[in-house]
Amino acid sequence: MASNDNILNLVKSREIDDKIARKVQSRLHVTEDLILRLGLERELEGHTGCVNCLEWNSTGELLASASDDFHVIVWDPFRHKALHTVATNHQGNIFSVKFMPKTNDSILISGAADYMINVHDIKLHETISVCTCHSSRVKRLAVCPETPSLFWSSSEDGTIRQFDLRAPHVCRSESDNVLIYLKHCFGKLAEAKCLAVNPVRSELLAVGANDPFVRLYDRRMIRPTTVPKADQRLLENGNDLTKSDHLPDGCAEYFVAGHLSSRDPVHRKHRSLASTYVTFGANGRDLLVNLGGEQIYLFDIYTKTAAQFYDFKSSPYYFDDAGTSSNECTLKQVQGPTHGYVNGTLELNRWIHTKVEEANADPFTSRPPLPRRVESLRLRANNAFENLDYPTAVRLYNEAISMSSDSAVLFGNRAAALMKRDWDGDVYAALRDCQRTLELEPNHYKAHFRMIRCLHELQWTTAAVDCLKVFKNKYPSHSQNTSCRALEKDIEIVASKIKVTEDERMSNPWDLFRLTRSPQEQKWQENALDYEKRFCGHCNTTTDIKEANFFGEDGQFIVAGSDDGSMYFWERNTTNNIRILKGDASIVNCLQPHPTFCLMATSGIDPVVRLWSPLPQDGRKDDREVSNKDVAAKENQKRMKADPFDFVLMNYMGYNPDQVQPDPNGEDDDEDFMSRVPPDCSCRPS
């Protein structure tokens, strides 16, 4: 009610103040109420193949779509009418289409699987330019209003190329328009998958590749060049060209989820990680990435403060094998917020330890009471945890933390729920929560113990051993309990097997991929910045063009498609999923929100474009809504972790989350889940 009152006050004030009028527009552009009313407005028919890309013009008056049928269609979305149909000369699936800025929406560019980029004049009904510089599939194009004559392309040949429509251009493989050549950075397997230009600072270019890192380049520091044929031949023959760095220092900054920075191939041998889409928020600060084989991550590109990390060996409670100890706890400063297990030292992002309390101190005596609403959420979350409903517990803790971000008990409890839920990235998220708990309550021994378990499950074994030593010396009364002794035994078993032979390492494709990094690339990866938020529930393993976008003028919501044919909506502040809608018979790939209205265009495997807008509140249930969000999310997590062969079998067996019968015992074990799926459920094959 308070929120509604605030909105009413803004509506009253907008008549006398233009600034408030703009604020009202921003607040009311997209709200949670509107998302909960969102439904199918119209299906736009005209394509005969999968629709792989959508693009609004700057005013939102036109919508362009492109397809496997080699056609581009420009629509009037408000009259649901096709205005122009461009029969391109592409001979491969079109993956990207863009309106060129400040051309009265008459110039379109398209990139496709035939390695070509076409420039079309839709009013003259002709293709005015064809670029054939790339030597592999063109996956994404990017434009920027501040530079209306420039556009950029990313291709699986590993290059990011820059084109200027004002300058004459002769296409050849050695054209001097290569801005970035990823194969020089990390070897012949490198591919450029997606890119985006910062709308506020057009000199910043974000690039996603076939690894977990998102790269942010300052193109003012990079001069376009060529890729000599000699270099290409050497790379194709397996020679290492990465010993010489070709980009200037300081031109790039990397971002990655901390648990993926030193990715362990043992856990992900059945799937690779590749960015399928990157985009900036309207403020130029937010960078969103949909990471194939994993989750969706939000980065803050302006948070560059140096991270502090706690070195377990410098704790007064750490004793080495000789029984000696340091005299004080040392804070170490690094150049950027790093994370992960690097060079034998655990670097924990945002760990702040100003002192070490006495081992027998009570950390809970001075804990302030939580606000009534937050305390109610905490009790409900605790009850869900006790009933083994970990997704619900995490969701309630998320909501409580969004209201009270300085409560150690909330972060500590959420860490426990995340560890039990155990979706991709949950253990690392729990580790971050343990860090935050100890920042707020340095003697929270449960958070310390959970941290050891997180380190162990992440296979950062050396750090887990050091952390365990500190815990045992700091909390001797807890070090002999059953849980601690069992965990210590588990860590000892792993520690005894920690050495991997060089032959075993070289037999793994990812290690071959990692070993070809240049010194410059290695430095950038080790200094990569961690994520701010993550969004879970969807599945992104089957296609490599799956998008994730901001919804709302201030990016208040996040939307993405999924391999289960649904589109997912998250509230940004809490990261909770608020709605799931069926958007395609097979897979939803593209979701493009309208720039000013609560209207969204989506597409996928079906040969149609779908428009979604708020429906009237007439009491009717939307048959496209997936009501059991937790079951749908859990099954998507299974999809991402499954062996590809098992995944195909799962698809043929199929299921509908709303048709799954609940477990009579209140549990949902993997072994008995499929026994409760109705036999008549159908699902598309992969």
Least Cα distance to 549 among 539, 558, 541, 540 occurs for 558
Q: What is the pLDDT of residue 576?
A: 98
Residue with tokens 């958070």: 447
Q: What is the pLDDT of residue 446?
A: 94
Q: What is the pLDDT of residue 680?
A: 36
In a domain? residue 428: yes
Domain of 438, CATH number, reads 1.25.40.10
Count Cα neighbours of 430 within 13 Å in the Cβ-side half-sphere: 29
Show which of 132, 148, 166 is a domain's final residue. Answer: 132
Contact 208/194 with Cβ under 8 angstroms?
A: yes
Show which of 101, 132, 163 is a domain's final residue. Answer: 132
In a domain? residue 438: yes
In a domain? residue 68: yes
Domain encompassing residue 105 = 47-132
Question: If residue 416 lies in a helix (H) or strand (E), which one and from where to where?
Answer: helix 408-421
For residues 496 and 488, give the distance between their C-alpha atoms in angstroms, rounded to a whole number. 12
**Cα(first)–Cα(last) distance of the chain, in Å?**
46
In a domain? residue 293: no
State which amino acid sits at residue 432. Answer: R
In a domain? residue 609: no
In a domain? residue 62: yes
Report long-range pairs for 551-554 (Cβ below 8 Å, ≥24 apart): 551/30, 551/35, 551/593, 551/600, 552/29, 552/30, 552/593, 553/25, 553/26, 553/29, 553/30, 553/282, 553/596, 554/26, 554/282, 554/283
Burial 384-396 (b: 16+ CB within 10 A, else e): bbeeebbbbbbbb
Contact 630/610 with Cβ under 8 angstroms?
A: no
State which amino acid sits at residue 486. Answer: A
Mean pLDDT for each consecutive 10-residue tract of the chain (686 residues)? Answer: 57 60 67 95 97 96 97 97 96 97 94 97 92 95 94 96 89 81 88 97 96 96 78 52 69 93 50 91 96 96 60 63 46 35 37 36 64 96 97 98 96 97 95 93 94 92 91 89 92 77 43 63 90 96 96 95 97 97 97 96 98 90 92 92 59 48 45 40 32
Crossing angle between the packed helical segments 408-421 and 372-386, to the nearest 10 degrees: 30
Contact 611/42 with Cβ under 8 angstroms?
A: yes
Q: Is residue 619 classed exposed, middle or buried when 0-12, 13-18 and 19+ CB atoms within 10 A define those classes?
A: exposed
Report long-range pairs for 335-338 (Cβ below 8 Å, ≥24 apart): 335/306, 335/527, 336/304, 336/306, 336/307, 336/527, 336/528, 336/529, 337/303, 337/304, 337/305, 337/306, 337/307, 337/529, 337/530, 338/261, 338/307, 338/309, 338/526, 338/527, 338/528
Domain of 81, CATH number, reads 2.40.10
Contact 197/204 with Cβ under 8 angstroms?
A: yes
Whole-prediction pTM:
0.85
For residues 535 and 244, give the distance between their C-alpha atoms in angstroms, rounded to a whole number. 38
Looking at the structure of the chain, the number of domains it has is 2
Show which of 99, 132, 165 is a domain's final residue. Answer: 132
Contact 524/338 with Cβ under 8 angstroms?
A: no
In a domain? residue 448: yes
Contact 410/378 with Cβ under 8 angstroms?
A: yes
In a domain? residue 18: no
